Amino acid sequence: MENRLWRIIRRPHGTAFEEALELVTEPLPGLATGEILIRNAMLSMDAGTRLWLTARKDGYQPPLPVGAPMTGLVLGEVIESRAEGFAAGDLVRAFGVWGELSQVDAAMSGAVKLDPAVENRRAWFGPLGMNGWTALWGIERTGAAKPGERVLVSAAAGATGILAVQIAKLLGCEAWGIAGGAEKCRFLTEELGIAGAVDYKSGDLAGQLDAAGGFDVYFDNVGGEILDAVLTRMNHYGRIAVCGLLADYGSGKRTAPREFDQVLMRRLRVEGFFSPDFMQEGEALTARLREWVEAGALVMPYDVTRGLDNTLAAYAKLFTGGNIGKVIVELDT
Residue 194 burial (CB count, 10 A): 24
- Does residue 140 have a pLDDT over 90? yes
- Mean pLDDT estimate for the chain: 96
Lowest mean pLDDT among 51-60, 122-131, 297-306: 51-60
Share of the chain above pLDDT 90, in %: 90
Residue pLDDT, tens place only, 264-278: 999 999 999 998 889
Average pLDDT, integer, range 78-90: 98
Q: Which pLDDT band holds residue 56 (cuts at 50, 70, 90)? A: confident
Q: Report how far Cα 2 is from the mean position of its chain's Cα atoms.
A: 30
Residues 6+ apart with CB under 8 A from 136: 163, 167, 285, 288, 289
Residue 298 burial (CB count, 10 A): 26
Share of the chain above pLDDT 70, in %: 100
Residue 166's closest CA among 288, 49, 278, 74?
288
Q: What is the DSSP string of 54-101?
A: S--SSSSSPPPPTTSBPEEEEEEEEEEE-STT--TT-EEEEEEESBSE
Average pLDDT, integer, range 95-102: 98
Give the pLDDT of residue 250. 72
Give the pLDDT of residue 329. 98
Residue pLDDT, tens place only, 160-178: 999 999 999 999 999 999 9
Residues 6+ apart with CB under 8 A from 139: 145, 151, 164, 167, 168, 171, 173, 217, 219, 241
- Does residue 333 have a pLDDT over 70? no
